[in-house]
Structure 1
Amino acid sequence: MEQQILEQLTTLGHPQRISVFRMLMRRYPDVIPAGELASELGIKASTMSNYLNALQRSGLVSQKRSGTSVLYSIEMNNVQAMLDYLVMDCCRGRPDICIPFSKGNDTMTDRKFNVLFICVGNSARSIFAESLLREIGGDKFNVYSAGTKPISDLNPFAVQVLRDKGHDTSVLRSKNVAEFSGPDAPDLDFVFTVCNQAANEDCPAWEGQPISGHWGMVDPVKTEGTDAEKSLAFQNAYGALKRRIEAFTSLPAESLDRIALQSAVDEIGRAPIEDLK
């Protein structure tokens, strides 16, 4: 076991290999094509293949085939074993030097939770999620949304869908994630990325270790065709987020410890939309 951990740490000691590992961790539980990783990180395809092979040999990354594509994802059990080794063996699990790991078994308190949804433009998907959780979650949540590169106006198709569904759109505006860091920002309990590009971005280091979820989905803004076809894409995105948020609000957050709650949030992101009740 120790030899494998040493090999994993050696593999991660390379600056570009750890950047690949970091992106796969941010996108977990997604499976990602090597070409997308190479494009996002600006790494040549042949070099990316070498990095992924090294991460696979160390047991930190796994691959699977889907048609002609090879998809990669984090081998989370092995990553957790590596972190456990560092925390429990190297620092003997001491809470004074192993924070934030010592917070892992805390339960969420019975109070109003602060939730932030992030996408790039903060004009459609994250706006949908904010509106849906505000309605479905009732008084249990304070809900916010933001973009890593927000645009100035909300997407008109998104606004129309929300109005048609009876949501109050007057409270919505496009915001930057910078509004949610710093001394005056709310203490976040949950942070969700609802598009892959936002998960790829460097976001602020959130204070208080919020539980994070990646619910990546197709961007309806990129739909081409008639207005009817575009409207349908926004309706589908709204419906998919509604199913995920309904599953999220049904979780007994107050009775689960942080590890169990994080696992449940990951499972919602991993499950096919049609399987969510």
Structure 2
Amino acid sequence: MQRERYDLVVKTEHLPRPEVQALLSVLRSQAFKAEFGAIGGGTICATSAASSARRDACRRIVMKASLDGGIASCIQEAWKTLAPPPRAAAAFACLGHPGRLSVFRMLMRFAPQGVRPTEIAAALGLKPNTLSHHLADLTACGLVTVTRQGRSLFYAVDLHKTESLIGYLALDLGRARPDLMPKALHEKANPMPDMPFNVLFICSGNSARSIFAEALLRDLGAGKFTAHSAGTRPGTVINPFALEVLGRNGHATGGLRAKHLSEFQGPAAPQMEFVFTVCDTAAAEDCPPWPGQPITGHWGLPDPVKATGTEAERALVFAQTYGALRRRIAAFVDLPFATLDRLALQTRVDAIGALPEKA
């Protein structure tokens, strides 16, 4: 039986050319074509509306695009029209490529927040066109979503689809056998340990943001937490502007020092209940899993150390960074830990990470 051919036509009125090209790249990706072909569909020829007045024998499927909907709505509409929700085989095939897997792993470290392609490329050392193909395939198989914020595109893991995929692997393929389930999965059903909780804040230099966070949690936590901080870059010192801001706000600074992350990765290190990254560079680092599977969150803020201008202008940036972290940590210490399970705590931690930087 001859398969029907589909001429996938995209209406692009008022849609910027870069978004048109990105959309067509997704629709032409191998992952999208493989998924569509697997359900009995025909071949796909993705074209723009300007070049669609041909191949009369093709069945035309027209998708509308606008600045309001953007690429994300086009991709979602394509899936609704052409294929069912992405299935395990296509998702596993997509993740079977080392490049796509590395991109997905990095996006997971930022989840549920999105990341700009330029930041992904810089962190992983990928060429823009290579990254574009990886993101197109991950989006096409349903594991990653793309949204537009202003002039930027942000790619994020679809946590619902990822949960379904992991559930299929563990419960369907693995038949929920306890000898195949990681120990951490059984521990997630257990309540959080008694206070005080060990909490680690990580940034690249441990010179400002993570130091602010350590001091704030130590002083606002009322004994419910043991605060730690560390940096991924060795040989750093606390920035003088950071010490000045802490002193002005009544925090003791005598016991604070810059520490490397390795101090918290050895067998004698305390086991953490919470681990937060407070800069994008630290979140992009490929660290091994933490013992005990602590709840993690990304509370990224711009690096005040990179601020330019007069001394007063730079001091203002440090004060604003301190204020943003104070609001987040105040919200964190007010959580009703005694009544929340791990899943609820993770949801609250993610929500705190989405708080605006400025009040």
Using the size of structure 1 for normalisation, the TM-score is: 0.95
Q: Please report how far the alpha carbon of residue 103 of structure 1 lies from its aligned counterpart in structure 2 after TM superposition.
A: 2.3
2:97 is equivalent to residue 14 of structure 1: yes
- What secondary structure, in the 3-state scheme, does the structure 1 residue paired with 2:258 have? coil
Determine the structure 2 residue equivalent to 1:179. 263
Higher relative contact order (Cα pairs below 8 Å, separated by 6+ residues): 1
Determine the structure 2 residue equivalent to 1:30. 113
Q: Hey, what's the Cα distance between the residues in 1 that align with 2:234 and 2:249?
A: 24
Q: Please report how far the alpha carbon of residue 31 of structure 1 lies from its aligned counterpart in structure 2 after TM superposition.
A: 1.6
- What secondary structure, in the 3-state scheme, does the structure 2 residue paired with 1:70 have? strand
Q: Hey, what's the Cα distance between the residues in 1 that align with 2:259 and 2:288?
A: 14
Task: Tell me which amino acid in the other structure corresponds to 2:239.
Answer: N
- What secondary structure, in the 3-state scheme, does the structure 1 residue paired with 2:238 have? coil
Deviations 1:19-57 (A, max 9, x none): 100111111122211122112211111111110010001
* Contact 1:148 1:203 (C-alpha < 8 Å) held by counterparts: no
Deviations 1:56-106 (A, max 9, x none): 011010111123322111111101111111111122223332122222222
2:118 is equivalent to residue 41 of structure 1: no
Determine the structure 1 residue equivalent to 2:295. 211
Which of 280, 284, 307 matches 1:223? Answer: 307
Q: Hey, what's the Cα distance between the residues in 1 that align with 2:168 and 2:125?
A: 32
Q: Hey, what's the Cα distance between the residues in 2 that align with 1:204 and 1:143?
A: 21
Determine the structure 2 residue equivalent to 1:117. 201
Using the size of structure 2 for normalisation, the TM-score is: 0.74
Determine the structure 2 residue equivalent to 1:82. 165
Which of 151, 159, 181 matches 1:68? Answer: 151
Of residues 262-271 and 214-223 in structure 1, the stretch that sits farther from structure 2 once superposed is 262-271
* Contact 1:181 1:204 (C-alpha < 8 Å) held by counterparts: no
Change (3 A) 1:201 1:242: same
Deviations 1:140-196 (A, max 9, x none): 111100001044321000000001111110110011111111221001100000000
Q: Hey, what's the Cα distance between the residues in 2 that align with 1:45 and 1:171?
A: 44
* Contact 1:123 1:150 (C-alpha < 8 Å) held by counterparts: no
Determine the structure 2 residue equivalent to 1:153. 237
Q: Structure 1: where are the runs of 5+ without partners? A: none
Q: Hey, what's the Cα distance between the residues in 2 that align with 1:151 and 1:265?
A: 30
Q: Please report how far the alpha carbon of residue 216 of structure 1 lies from its aligned counterpart in structure 2 after TM superposition.
A: 0.5
* Contact 1:192 1:213 (C-alpha < 8 Å) held by counterparts: yes
Larger radius of gyration: 2
Identity of aligned residues (%): 50
Task: Tell me which amino acid in the other structure corresponds to 1:238.
Answer: Y
Q: Structure 2: where are the runs of 5+ without partners? A: 1-83
Determine the structure 2 residue equivalent to 1:101. 185
Task: Tell me which amino acid in the other structure corresponds to 1:24.
Answer: L
Q: Please report how far the alpha carbon of residue 219 of structure 1 lies from its aligned counterpart in structure 2 after TM superposition.
A: 0.8
